[in-house]
Chains A and B, each alone.
Chain A
Amino acid sequence: MKEFNYVITDAEGIHARPAGELVKKAKEYISSISIIKEGKKADAKKLFGVMGLGVKQGMEITVQVEGEDEETAAAAMETFLKENL
């Protein structure tokens, strides 16, 4: 399993549109991908779940990736977060 942390810098936090794009990205991979915020865990492939975390600017999230393509998936998720959130 791959795991990394990321602090959200976007002023709006993970709001609807980037959440949608994040889900789209996550769905490109076979691995299961979860986002954890303050102990709450959500499936990164599910929009309502991701939005339901209510992640705001300055908050730290943990991303866990597990599966056969975890290396590439984790790297891709990290790049996505850095570029968009």
Chain B
Amino acid sequence: METYKGKSVFGGIAIGKLHIYNKKNLQVKRKHIETEEIEREVERFHKAREDAIAQLVELYEKSISSVGTSNAAIFEIHQMMLQDDDYIESTENMIQTQQVNAEYAVAMTSDNFASMFAAMEDDYMKGRAADVRDISERVLLILTGQESDCIDTEEPVIVVADDLAPSETVQMDKSKVLSFVTVHGSTNSHTAILARTMGIPALIGTPIPLEDSINGKLAIVDGDTGQIYVEPDEETFAMMQEKYKVIQTKKELLQTLKGKETVTLDGRRIMLYANIGNYKDLSLVLENDAEGIGLFRSEFLYLEGDTYPTEEEQLKIYRAVAETMAGKRVIIRTLDIGADKQADYFELPKEENPAMGCRAIRICLTRPEVFKTQLRALFRASAFGKIAIMYPMITSLSEITKIKNIVEEVKQELTEAGVPFGNPEQGIMIETPAAVIISDQLAKEVDFFSIGTNDLTQYTLAIDRQNAQLDEFYDPHHQAILRMIATTVENAHKANIWCGICGELGADPELSKLFLSIGIDELSMSPGNLLFIRKIIRETNILEEGEAIRKQFL
């Protein structure tokens, strides 16, 4: 057994034979041509270019149904590139002035434009260098009378390649591909995007030798750990097969529950939302059929860089999330940094007890400029979708008053500057015992509550969740916590606002029925848990089961 480790771009298990994807030999030789041959070479170039466009038209039509319009769009862009005057003129020019063969002229033009794109600052534009090479290879294959590699095996295979051009991945017969494994490539490459769309495991940056000797060998790709096992031993094989089965069962469940309503047998609807920590997780949100985003942790914006993210940078992300969710609610939690999440440039003083120190809303209120930048971006982004703002770590009414004053300033500044903004809902996290106890008062001041059970548990039970030695004292279903949740929901409803849970307990299948019976309005959790919880909700009848469950837990 040989094991190689790459970087996973999509999880899951694939078991099958390896297929080494060979690029055709496109070594182009420079040939000198005579003056009377120039016209013929230019003709050859145009004929090949037109054939390439015809191929692309066909590929575009074919791939719309197999991979969707947005993935197929690449073939439309490639057509446009092949029709570009600069590209055509540059190639013609080279044939005419340097008296070279069409192949060489295409290869040189390709190199020139690819380097132009590769040198650009913008990552998106950098990536277009691959497109230029791709269209040129297509023309070159036609000029040299070759066809691109196709998967001609009967069985679906694990495709292994040095790197895959966008058109190569899209034109592969999808029913024959179990997984993509490449030696190079990036997480934003088309291969990665396509793997996510297809929902198949894929690895990039995998140091696997592309030798003919491994072609056809049995292998297993573990997209969760980023490993590929070539000729796995019995033990690994059995283990992976087990893992594969578990994933399959989940997938089947997912299929049956996708698109179904989250409603109990007696007709109560629950908003089933997803928690995400990065806009890159959006694909998981859509894939698992979340009805909205219940907790979008904005920290990654602050933790990724080494300086404060600008208003524009934040706006771009918030807007993209809101637009992707297309009218579904997106609850963005304002900066929750401090405690275990630190960024050096904040220069937070060392604290004896960071969990109870300067974190979350406390930082925002002591550094209003940082807070205002985020609020401006959030209010502006609200013009593009249904954004809701959620403030973390609230303990008192005076904090709400301070937040409201700052929000007013932000709105006024935006109005004065003539910058358009929306009117987002504003709610708070209930994650301190103090907030629970005064939740009747807080409910009158905000649009919604979301209970953060992780911190609420740690602050209520005085137990550090990271400390494994305390496990025997830790009861996640402690009555104190469950009663606090019930109180919070009750107080929210008295003030006619909705109340949800975005902590880990929200996804605890043993508590789903309890939450339903106390009237929770929303549950937000990691995307992977959504469909399982939807299943439980759809099998619950609150009218019949509610009372017994409340008695059991509260």
Contacts and interface: CB of A to CB of B under 8 A. Distances in A.
Contacts of A67: none
Indicate the member of A45, A49, A51, A58 with the most B CB atoms within 10 Å.
A51
B312 A58 contact: yes
A4 interface: no
Interface in B62-102: 73, 76-77, 80-81, 83-87
B108 to A, nearest CB: 15
Given A11-B316, A54-B122, A47 B73 contact: no
Interface stretch (A12-20, A30-38, A77-85): A12-20
- Taking each of A20, A23, A45, which has the highest tally of chain B beta carbons within 10 Å of its own beta carbon? A20
A57 interface: yes
B116 interface: yes
A11 B381 CA distance: 12
Which DSSP category, helix, strand, loop or mixed, fits chain B's interface?
Answer: helix
Given A15-B124, A48-B87, A57 B316 contact: yes
A12 B70 CA distance: 15
A54 B81 contact: no
Interface string A42-56: 010111110110101
A16 B131 contact: yes
Nearest to B87: A48
Contacts of B461: none
Give the most central of A43, A52, A56: most B CB within 10 Å.
Answer: A52
A81 B84 CA distance: 20
Given A16-B128, A46-B84, A52 B120 contact: yes
A15 B77 CA distance: 10
Interface in B106-137: 113, 116-117, 120-122, 124-125, 128, 131
Given A20-B80, A56-B122, A47 B320 contact: no
Interface of B: 73, 76-77, 80-81, 83-87, 113, 116-117, 120-122, 124-125, 128, 131, 312, 316, 319-320
B80 A47 contact: yes
A45 to B, nearest CB: 6
Nearest to A52: B116
Interface of A: 11-13, 15-17, 20, 23-24, 43, 45-49, 51-52, 54, 56-58
B92 to A, nearest CB: 14
18 contacts: A11-B316, A11-B320, A12-B124, A13-B122, A15-B125, A16-B128, A20-B76, A46-B86, A47-B83, A47-B85, A47-B86, A48-B81, A48-B87, A51-B117, A52-B117, A52-B120, A57-B316, A58-B312
Contacts, number: 54
Contacts of B316: 11, 57
A56 B86 CA distance: 22
A20 B79 CA distance: 9
B73 A17 contact: yes
Nearest to B74: A16
B320 A17 contact: no
B107 to A, nearest CB: 16
Contacts of A45: 85
Contacts of B128: 16, 51
Contacts of B83: 47
B75 to A, nearest CB: 11
B319 A11 contact: yes
A49 B122 contact: no
B85 A16 contact: no
B90 to A, nearest CB: 9
Contacts of B312: 57-58
B420 to A, nearest CB: 11
A15 B76 CA distance: 13
A49 B120 contact: no
